[in-house]
Structure 1
């Protein structure tokens, strides 16, 4: 009769065979285990544990050197209990500020919150790389505005908030509570934001009736559109059913509801009390709260880099009169230095690289430094702005009085055998069947091409505009110099 042996009994039989003189290799082969496993059974059996030593044991390590200390975990739990809207990243930022070392990872903080039942474990959402992210290059270039509701007073009155954030800095420019989000209250919120922070270049909204007459029955334009047009603001609209286009202000709504809406639901008796509390929350959001998408810095640090003149906005009480903005005259920007944008869209200034964009590769730009901001101008248009970077031995420049930057004079062209070529629409000339780029600024212009040592010199009116290393076949130079004005143009027969 066959008898089924348990796992411990089988291990015991193997151990007993070895103790009776059998070979470890032969017994291990017969039982289908490694020799090391059989030696482990022998060691555990011989430690005085007997049959109990042959039972399965937990593989959990006795200790974990990198486990979060109990003090840090208690502080994480206390932070979450005091601020239910704080997530793992925000808690981690505050732990760094409080001087905890070493600081645990974000996933460790998340697992600690799950263990204590402070957050519910959720399935991992889509990766950030799956989304197409975009951001304007500087503050006041674009505002995103929207309306969010379902905020309640103590008597059950529902309020809505007219919200707006700066696309580049995430600075909240508007958070105005209204009883009814009709055209007049929404436009008054826009006027208040413009009076406090200035006039943006563009405003992005959805297709709500208070923002546009795009899908309305009326002839239009609505008051919001008229205010934008009168003040020179481009009003951009999202595609229908595309809330991700205004994703930044939608994400702000989630933060607003978690950080201020839920804790203060049905708490305030009047609209004025609720607005005062909201203003205090917005002040903390702009000046103290870290924002993950801008490197865990408060939004005001980005927004203040290009702070301009404060306008004075006046709104007429009639629905037909648009708002007018009067601003102080902008002083002419100081003279800058000239730079060529390399093939990667970068320029070099004081040993640091700044991005202008691949669109301007090979183009001539002007670089101006104003109050710690590096501005890159192309044909009078500001194309990029960056915070100025300095080395450790240059930090004293921040305390030096500003002086007028030196203007560089283009050097004279070196004399030599020269031919003239006409640049094409992309600013490229052809010499010895090889293209050489001069830049789009010189498109359709006559450019002098000179061979100087081992380089090709391009000049206009005796001033050097570009120098390239020789890439053409030197044997073809004779034919190129034989046509100093280029090949004669073919004339079409009449």
Structure 2
């Protein structure tokens, strides 16, 4: 480039070419020839040298202080097991009084500092159809996930989150999640935060019995959790089988949870794990900015508007079950997730019967004669149920 510039200047200044002829001869613009001649007049032979096209000043360049804070927050959040994306960092910069660059600029700075791993396999956001409840407590999502203790033994972590705000309603670890634990934890959550209008879960047995199959040709009884929802007028929604996207919010929550727990010392006991989960709950609800909550902690969105409340639902659980009175004069019936024993009396031992079940009301009919022989009003607090003779009804 130096030699080329020198030839152009020499041809015009010391030779016989004018600027137009020189531009044609050297295959450059006439404007460029004039610029070289102007430089030579002021700078002499320094005009022969090529120059960077980079501007002398970069008024739009991100200040070094801001760049340093971006990489600091990335490393700090990653170490703590918290979300360290561009949007989170942008929020933190603003809270520090700095002028936060655009998300794309933050991402570029992180990439330049080798803090970004490409993920070409990720599904594009434009392909997702998103649903969000309009109010707090309009819908709670629930599920459980696994986590191993220091000795390698498995635990199961059950949680409830608010669909509208992503507020973590309740979280607790167990050796194994059972239907009783699901109902108990749900009840305690309702006592603290009010009852939700609806519940969304998958089709696990601790949440629903609808896919357990018929027993002796009869529909299965609702479990404890289902009965609780029915009693409190809470609409039960179960996702489609083999379609985890329905519970996408809680699936993403579990990823955030495990990222944080993984960054902590591995718990030795379930009790220690629950202490960690309580700490995470506080951070997640009150400190960690959430994209879906307008880059604010979920607690602020959960408390910003009035909560939805349950609406009256039809109380209809009619089903029929066939059975035979056992040798002790009893029938068995599952109600509210527990097996109940119905006292028929030894007089009816061996008699084939049909039970007409309408929620708590049970009518027992002799299948051979069609005679109504007992009535029961299920008492959920008791295992053994005393019947009423059809003659005394």
Which residues of 2 match residues 163-312 of structure 1 at below 5 A? 163-217=159-213, 219-258=220-259, 260-264=260-264, 267-304=266-303, 305-306=305-306
1:211 aligned counterpart, secondary structure: coil
**Aligned: 1:158 with 2:154:** yes
**Aligned: 1:82 with 2:80:** no
Q: Which residue of 1 aligns with 2:90?
A: 92
d(CA) in 1 for partners of 2:53, 2:124: 33
d(CA) in 2 for partners of 1:27, 1:126: 57
2:267 aligned counterpart, secondary structure: coil
**Per-residue deviation, 1:64:** 1.6
**Per-residue deviation, 1:22:** 0.7
Q: Which residue of 1 aligns with 2:352?
A: none
**Aligned: 1:114 with 2:111:** yes
Q: Which residue of 2 aligns with 1:376?
A: none
d(CA) in 2 for partners of 1:145, 1:207: 11
- Structure 1 gaps of 5+ residues are 1-6, 310-317, 324-494
Residues 170, 215 of structure 1: alpha-carbon distance in 2 compared, 3 angstrom cutoff: same
d(CA) in 1 for partners of 2:282, 2:73: 21
d(CA) in 2 for partners of 1:281, 1:125: 27
**Per-residue deviation, 1:240:** 2.8
* 1:142 and 1:203 in contact (8 A); partners too: yes
Q: Which residue of 2 aligns with 1:39?
A: 34
Which residues of 2 match residues 16-27 of structure 1 at below 5 A? 16-19=10-13, 20-27=15-22
**Per-residue deviation, 1:272:** 0.8
Q: Which residue of 1 aligns with 2:55?
A: 61
d(CA) in 1 for partners of 2:58, 2:100: 16
**Per-residue deviation, 1:236:** 0.8
d(CA) in 2 for partners of 1:61, 1:160: 59
- Structure 2 gaps of 5+ residues are 215-219, 310-332, 339-393
Q: Which residue of 1 aligns with 2:368?
A: none
Q: Which residue of 1 aligns with 2:341?
A: none
Question: What is the TM-score with the length of structure 2 in the denominator?
Answer: 0.68
**Per-residue deviation, 1:296:** 2.2
* 2:222 and 2:335 in contact (8 A); partners too: no
Residues 241, 30 of structure 1: alpha-carbon distance in 2 compared, 3 angstrom cutoff: farther
Residues 278, 34 of structure 1: alpha-carbon distance in 2 compared, 3 angstrom cutoff: same
Of 133, 136, 140, 2:137 maps to: 140
Q: Which residue of 2 aligns with 1:492?
A: none
- Which structure ranks higher in relative contact order (CA pairs < 8 Å, sequence separation ≥ 6)? 2
Residues 147, 24 of structure 1: alpha-carbon distance in 2 compared, 3 angstrom cutoff: same
* 2:226 and 2:336 in contact (8 A); partners too: no
* 1:143 and 1:204 in contact (8 A); partners too: yes
**Per-residue deviation, 1:142:** 0.8
**Per-residue deviation, 1:25:** 1.4
**Per-residue deviation, 1:282:** 0.7
Aligned positions, number: 303
d(CA) in 1 for partners of 2:177, 2:36: 76
* 2:221 and 2:335 in contact (8 A); partners too: no
2:200 aligned counterpart, secondary structure: strand
* 1:198 and 1:308 in contact (8 A); partners too: no
* 1:227 and 1:322 in contact (8 A); partners too: no
d(CA) in 2 for partners of 1:138, 1:76: 34
d(CA) in 2 for partners of 1:210, 1:182: 6
**Per-residue deviation, 1:106:** 2.2
* 1:169 and 1:303 in contact (8 A); partners too: yes
Q: CA RMSD in A?
A: 3.0
The one-character-per-residue Cα deviations of 1:321-357 (angstroms, maximum 9, x if unpaired) are 469xxxxxxxxxxxxxxxxxxxxxxxxxxxxxxxxxx
d(CA) in 2 for partners of 1:80, 1:319: 53
**Per-residue deviation, 1:130:** 4.0
**Per-residue deviation, 1:200:** 1.1
